[in-house]
Amino acid sequence: MGDYHFVYKDVEGASTQWDDIQRKLGNLPPKPPAFKPPAFTPAEDEASAPKDKSWIQDKTEEELEELEDSKDLDDDRFLEEYRKKRLAELREAAKVRRYGSVIPISGSDFVREVSQASSEDWVVVCLYKEGFAECGLMLGCIDELSSRYPATKFVKIISTDCIPNYPDRNLPTLLVYHHGAVKATHVGLKSFGRRCTPESIALVLCQSEPVLNDGKIGDDDSSREAVMAGVRRQFIERVVKDHEDKSDDDESD
């Protein structure tokens, strides 16, 4: 009668007492480590994440459009209204024409660039001639303003190309256009105070009309007030800096 051997198989990874004795004697290889699944880390569910104004604020125009029929906002009337408001702001901002520099034009360009400019644009025209120190000072100032207020259109044109026989004594001259019509005329530098600076020009341009536009959303009055407040602050900062520079020069002497 042959020998019968009963082989007992336990749960995978488990060990019998006999196996443990054999391993101590060196008759079996070390027991492999028991399988341990990695710790469960639930993925962040965007749908369950809290939604607030910042969640809307961070989205692009295309993403906000896609949310129009989304279930994410079905139960939140406030966020849906804010989505519509934010979308309107982005669309309005996209319409704002940006310039950012003084555009040189010729007489043949005037109608297209100034008289027929977009009705939403304020256009500041500088009449000048080369070789006049006052014109150089004015051009430097409006160059700085054009970069500060990129939604306002600044152009420059040789005075006699714009108006034949225009007197040199009137240079430089600023013409302000809106809706194709002249809204203001500023002849020479005397209109801008004792010292002609970007800030003094900005104060005069915005005195009664929202000529300067930085492209931010808002009605004309609030935009003008914001620009004026900023200009006044810059004006004070420039005066203080000039005073400090003068004091340093005096001390060095």
Contacts 24+ apart (CB under 8 A), 113-118: 113/153, 113/155, 114/155, 114/177, 115/177, 115/180, 116/180, 117/153, 117/177, 117/180
Rg, C-alpha atoms of the chain: 37
pTM of model > 0.75: no
d(CA 98, CA 118): 12
Averaged pLDDT of the chain: 77
> What is the residue extent of each domain of the chain?
55-95, 102-241
d(CA 243, CA 249): 10
Please tell me the predicted confidence (pLDDT) of residue 191. 87
Which pLDDT tens digit goes with each residue over 10-36?
555 555 676 777 777 777 777 777 666
CATH 2.40.50.140 matches 102-241: no
Cβ 212 vs Cβ 122: under 8 Å: yes
Which pLDDT tens digit goes with each residue over 39-60?
655 544 444 455 667 777 777 7
| pLDDT, average across residues 112-130 | 91
